[in-house]
A = this chain, B = another copy of it.
């Protein structure tokens, strides 16, 4: 007789792992010695899901409400969530590796020698070693700043917490004003932003960069990510610098160097780090609009970041542009992007818009007293697992908090499971005749 074993597909396994650790986290954070003065079950769940999905939205102030034990629980959830997501992304990457271009296949094979269970374990091991190495290095750099300020014990702990939070794009900080106290501190700005940019660009890009020394030989995906990140971050920095230049609540009272630092940090953090060195509730409306767009776009595939992903945005924009130029193909760096990816980008974008719209629809009813823009900001921040807020998270209704929990969960796991299920081949057989229609 055959034994019936519960056989989970990888996406099911991912969901189970996330539900398990979020629930465990909730119970741990609910323990009497996890908080200073207690916390509701919903707030504990919210915090656990926010940490596990590396979002960083907070209903209670992390530093003052949680004890050291509570903070360590959050830190562990962030590490598990971040590594879990990256490992799963690596798995998908290997699965679609078979379909993926020649260069990626080569890279994967170089890293693995073979696509087997052993191979997966090997690559995941590399991933773990890489993550811990980067985090450790960052702890040392941050400690240079924070040990003199907070002493050895506290200084190292603060450095560790923020290193893990930043590399995993979690955006949790133990300070109530996030990194606003360090808006003009170059070390903190550079180390923290480097961490979340490295963590957010995607492991496959890093592998490619490690293996390939010439830019021309890099994969198309890596080229798009590098150029895209550079262009979008620079453009956002310039726009935010101009928009906030005279805003007395943000840049106006800072020195030019600090203005540039704060504009840089505010440009890179929405995709999808979630730390802030400026107060989003006081920003100009166009800065908010730009930040919402950046949060929606998000980081790189196979990374700790969220959003529709930079490549998705690039593919959508370029296909629209190519069509307007009456070109029937998207070309970039002497390569053509296949229709499969254009359709995938379209599907991911539409599903994301649908999710944001649905959540917004419910929150418009449950949060009647709150302005529209902060609610939109909150929903997109949860979808992109960014963690920035205009300050309404703590005062959301129970329905509002529940919706945001669900959006964080789907925002993080949705695109991954979608990418996984889409790696199966097309089984369609029957073809109908084509017929044109009028659009536009």
Stretch in contact with the other chain, from A37-45, A146-154, A344-352: A344-352
Hey, what's the 0/1 contact readout for A379-419 against B, CB within 8 Å counting as 1? 00000000000000000000000000000000000010011
Whether A286 and B364, one on each chain, are in contact in the complex, defined by CB atoms closer than 8 angstroms, is yes
Residues of the B chain whose Cβ atoms lie less than 8 Å from the Cβ of A437: 219-221, 224, 311, 315, 337, 341
Bitwise interface map of A from 195 to 222 toward B, beta carbon under 8 Å scored 1, else 0? 0000000101000000000000001110
User: Is the beta-carbon distance between B440 and A312 smaller than 8 angstroms?
Assistant: yes
Report how far A348 CA is from B320 CA in the complex, Å.
8
Tell whether A317 pairs with B350 under 8 Å between CB atoms, given A99-B436, A220-B435: yes
Contacting residues of chain A (314-350) with chain B, CB-CB under 8 angstroms:
315-317, 319-321, 323-324, 326-329, 331, 334-350
Tell me, yes or no, whether A125 is within 8 Å of chain B by CB.
Answer: no
Which of A224, A343, A364 has the most chain B CB atoms closer than 10 A to its own CB? A343
Which A75-94 residues sit within 8 Å CB-CB of chain B? 93
Task: Decide: A351 and B324 in contact? CB cutoff 8 A.
Answer: yes
Judge whether A336 and B426 touch: CB under 8 Å: no
Report whether A320 and B347 are in contact in the complex, using a CB–CB cutoff of 8 Å: yes
A135 touches B (CB below 8 Å): no
A308, CB-defined interface residue at 8 Å: yes
CA A309 to CA B104, docked complex, whole Å: 40
Task: Tell me how many residues of A have a C-beta within 8 Å of chain B.
Answer: 85
Interface centre among A317, A364, A371, A415 (most CB of B within 10 A): A364
| Contact of A439 with B372 in the complex, beta carbons under 8 Å | no
In the complex, what's the smallest C-beta–C-beta distance from A301 to chain B, in angstroms? 4
Task: Say whether A3 faces chain B, with CB atoms less than 8 Å apart.
Answer: no
Question: Is A181 in contact with chain B by the CB < 8 A criterion?
Answer: no
Q: Is A144 an interface residue (CB 8 A)?
A: no
Does A365 interact with chain B (Cβ within 8 Å)?
yes
B326/A422 in contact, CB under 8 A: yes
- Check A336/B418 contact, CB under 8 A, given A320-B347, A328-B426, A329-B428: no
How far apart are A335's CB and chain B's nearest CB, in angstroms?
A: 4
The chain B residue sitting closest to A92, CB to CB, is: B438
A129 within 8 A of B: no
The reply to whether A346 and B319 form a contact with Cβ atoms under 8 Å apart is yes
CA distance A321 to B349 in the complex (A): 11
Contact A432 B335 (CB under 8 A): yes
A419 to B361, CA, bound (A): 33
Alpha-carbon gap, A427 to B328, bound state (A): 9
User: Is the beta-carbon distance between B336 and A323 smaller than 8 angstroms?
Assistant: no
CB distance from A45 to the nearest CB of B (A): 26
Picked from B221, B308, B327, B343, the residue with its CB within 8 Å of the CB of A319 is B343
Let me know if B436 and A101 touch, CB within 8 A: yes
User: Contacts of A312 on B, CB cut-off 8 Å?
Assistant: 439-440
Instruction: Say yes or no for A237: interface residue by CB 8 A criterion.
Output: no
| A431 on interface, CB distance cutoff 8 Å | yes
Q: Is A434 an interface residue (CB 8 A)?
A: yes
**By the criterion CB–CB under 8 Å, are A301 and B435 in contact?**
no
A249 within 8 A of B: no
How far is the CB of A328 from the nearest CB of chain B, in Å? 5
Least CB distance from A438 to B in Å reads: 4
Considering only residues 144-201 of chain A, those with a C-beta below 8 Å from chain B are none
- Smallest CB–CB gap between A224 and chain B, Å? 6
Query: Can you list 18 contacts pairing A with B, beta carbon distance less than 8 Å?
Result: A101-B436, A202-B438, A284-B364, A289-B357, A301-B439, A311-B437, A311-B439, A315-B439, A319-B347, A324-B422, A327-B426, A335-B433, A340-B436, A341-B437, A344-B439, A372-B372, A373-B373, A418-B440
Interface of A toward B, CB cutoff 8 Å: 93, 96, 99-104, 202, 204, 219-221, 224, 284-286, 289, 293, 300-302, 308-309, 311-312, 315-317, 319-321, 323-324, 326-329, 331, 334-351, 357, 360-361, 364-365, 368, 371-373, 415, 418-419, 421-422, 424, 426-428, 431-440
**List of 9 A-B pairs having minimum Cβ-Cβ separation, nearest first:** A320-B350, A301-B438, A348-B440, A335-B435, A323-B347, A221-B437, A101-B435, A285-B364, A312-B439
